[in-house]
Structure 1
């Protein structure tokens, strides 16, 4: 399974959360950020639990892990840095002109 399918499963499960009204993923410098709009009565802990449950569902039966870091919130809008990590896959350019350099990947 590729990483795009894992993200798709993650977002499908995140969409079912009753606390999350809307979400959006943006990439800055190759790092994915989640922008989550929640209802006013939702706590950060409930958002964290929804992200955790969705990550567990997306990564089950796969050889991936994930890392989530809270960045900030503004009222009911929460921003997280969230990425799925595939073992033994290059994630940055080392500058050695490797044939499998991430600069040459097609998106």
Structure 2
């Protein structure tokens, strides 16, 4: 799975939102940051909801998760640390009676 293509689709979907002026991402020291400029007086909660919805759209049918963390805002410019990642799954039983034990997995 090519995460670069996933990011491109994600950014295109964000840029298609009518209240987002510009969205792009940059990797700084290996950490992807999402930069979003929105129309004036736009609600941050609505923006974060749109990020979650658009991330879910690009991850649909793939074994991926996303994590978004607010970094800073300046008027109508927002910065988030956003990443797509493959969840780690246990491959063996460690004997600690974990709730996600591989022995309890069905199928």
Q: TM-score range by the shorter chain?
A: 0.7 to 0.9
Unpaired runs of at least 5, structure 2: 89-107
Query: In 2, Cα distance between the equivalents of 1:36 and 1:13?
Result: 12
C-alpha contact 2:11 2:24 (8 A) present in aligned 1: no
CA–CA distance in structure 1, aligned partners of residues 49 and 15 of structure 2: 13
Deviation at 1:65, TM superposition (A): 0.5
Deviation by residue 1:46-74 (Cα, 9 ceiling, x = unmatched):
11011111101010001110000001100
SS in 1 for 2:40: coil
What residue is the counterpart of 1:64 in the other structure?
64
Q: Any unmatched runs of 5+ in structure 1? A: 89-107
Aligned pair count reads 88
Match of 2:15 in 1: 15
CA RMSD of aligned residues (A): 1.2
In 1, Cα distance between equivalents of 2:40 and 2:49: 17
User: Aligned equivalents of 1:13 and 1:25: distance in 2?
Assistant: 13
> Structure 2 CA distance, aligned partners of 1:27 and 1:78?
16
Cα separation, 1, equivalents of 2:50 and 2:77: 15
Does residue 42 of the first structure (1) align with residue 22 of the second (2)? no
Give the C-alpha shift of residue 27 in structure 1: 1.1
